Amino acid sequence: MGSIETVAPRAALFLDRDGVIIENRPNYVRQKSDVSFIDEAIVAGREVTQAGHPIFVVSNQAVVGKGIMPLDEVVSINEWIMDSLRSKGVGIVAAYICPHVGEDNCDCRKPRPGMLIRAASEHGLDLSRSVMVGDNLRDLQAAEAAGAKGKLVRTGMGADQEQEVLRVGLGKWLVFDHLLHALPSILSDLEGSI
């Protein structure tokens, strides 16, 4: 009898989009020309990809729920961003968008963990061995609710959120200047979980 090979769930890197990968815009990213990539994020993403770890993007996009933009336009811009990242060597496996506003009480809007749980279910991921990097307290709360490690970057809203993150997190979340600065910690967590 031959043995059946099973594949253990793998660790992954989850990234918020606006403020981590691309610059935040005060009036939302409404068109491709509004997109400005954060260079350090691209370098870090390539390094994570070269190390063999999958990357997923999870992004609240309340611009849809507020009626400012239709979902298909947001999805189109998001797909263009993901394709641009892939062309730069960043191995984005999939991107998830929550189109709701907080009042919708959905499971996917961060700080709820729905997008991370969905990605784990669809891609065989072990959230307890995964890392989520964001620029907002709710990103870290989503990580914690999903059982993943959370890290804050000071890009985007991160610098303004840092004191609140430190107060609420009581030191459990690490804070970094940008994604590249967080890279050694990210790789240590992901590779320590192999």
Exactly one of 18, 135, 139, 189 is catalytic; which is it? 18
In angstroms, the CA 3 to CA 85 distance is 39
State the maximum Cα–Cα separation within the chain, in Å, rounded to a whole number: 62
Please answer whether residues 54 and 123 qualify as being in contact, where contact means their C-beta atoms are separated by less than 8 angstroms: yes
Please answer whether residues 58 and 142 qualify as being in contact, where contact means their C-beta atoms are separated by less than 8 angstroms: yes
39 is catalytic: no
Exactly one of 16, 135, 139, 189 is catalytic; which is it? 16
Encoding tokens for residue 129?
A: 């061995």
18 is catalytic: yes
Strand-pair category, 55-60 with 92-98: parallel
Q: Which residues are catalytic?
A: 16, 18
